[in-house]
Amino acid sequence: MRKILVAVAVFSALASSAAEARGRHHHHRHYAHSGRPAAWCGWYMRTQVGSDPGPQFNLARSWARYGSNAGGPSIGTIVVWRHHVGKIVGQQNGQWIVQSGNDGHAVRTRPRSLAGAIAFRNAYASF
């Protein structure tokens, strides 16, 4: 009987820890402690435009309807992929240089392929 009680206690503790861990993981998946979403490239772009378009633009693909159609890549345009958004800041050796948030969990400026981009947008305000 003692072994059964110990087994039940251990099982309950493990189940409680697992549920707690799932809750923490779920929390971190959506929002970091700063209030910034865990997938934060859209959130970062909100800080780079003249007027914050709002939390619906935390989602990268929302930027495909921001500003006006740029018609293609150029320096200063916002480039939108299905799951990422950034700003084209230059061109070097035939490659576009893109600055974006949440690129390797940091703000980075580096050459990026524009393959798979779904939109190129001119911002209403310069940034």
Q: What is the CATH number of the domain that holds 105?
A: 3.90.1720
Check residue 116 and give its pLDDT.
Answer: 97
Distance from chain centroid for Cα 6: 45
> How many folded domains does the chain comprise?
2
Is residue 127 domain-resident?
Answer: no
pLDDT at 24 over 80: no
Q: Does residue 35 register a pLDDT over 50?
A: yes
Q: Within this chain, do residues 112 and 67 fall inside the same structural domain, yes or no?
A: yes
Does 97 fall in a domain? yes
Rounded to an integer, the average pLDDT of 98-116 is 97
Asked if residue 109 belongs to a domain, the reply is yes
Give yes or no: residues 25 and 59 share one domain.
Answer: no
Question: What is the residue range of 54's domain?
Answer: 38-122
Band of the pLDDT at 113, cuts 50, 70, 90? Answer: very high
Residue 9 lies in a domain: yes
pLDDT, tens digit, 9 for 90 and up, residues 43-67 = 999 999 989 999 999 999 999 999 9
Q: pTM value? A: 0.70
- C-alpha 127/C-alpha 50 separation (Å) is 6
